[in-house]
Amino acid sequence: MSLSTHVLDAVLGAPAHGVPVRLEQRGPDGWTLLAERVTGADGRIPDLSTGLAAGSYRLVFDTGSYLGPEAFYPEVVVTLRVTGAGQHYHVPLLLSPFAYSTYRGS
């Protein structure tokens, strides 16, 4: 199973370049860091992880580094459950200074 993400800036109507993102897996002792990447010029991280096993994961978006020190949401955490073998999971984040939304993309 593979995982990708992208971040879109709703105010600018453009990709959010330079957003740090962490991928963590839930284990018996808490969360373990699996990968750290930064969104590219197109706001995407196409290869955040491959070979994921079924389980619980979370994406931690460091939105404060993108929006600045006055960010209302300095961090966005999206927790998801990976279940299907051979599937691709794509998790977009639509971001603005006072709101965000996410969904399972394709």
Question: In this predicted structure, what is the pLDDT of residue 18?
Answer: 98
Question: In this predicted structure, what is the pLDDT of residue 101?
Answer: 97
Helices and strands of the chain, counted as H and E runs? 1, 9
Question: In this predicted structure, what is the pLDDT of residue 30?
Answer: 97
Which residues does the chain have with pLDDT short of 50? none
- What CATH number should be reported for the domain holding residue 72? 2.60.40.180
Question: In this predicted structure, what is the pLDDT of residue 41?
Answer: 97
Tell me the pTM.
0.94
38-57 confidence digits (pLDDT tens): 999 999 999 899 888 999 99
d(CA 55, CA 76): 20
Q: How many CB atoms lie within 10 A of CB 32?
A: 10
Question: In this predicted structure, what is the pLDDT of residue 13?
Answer: 97
**Can you give the residue range of the structural domain that contains 8?**
2-102
Q: How many domains does the chain have?
A: 1
d(CA 22, CA 34): 8
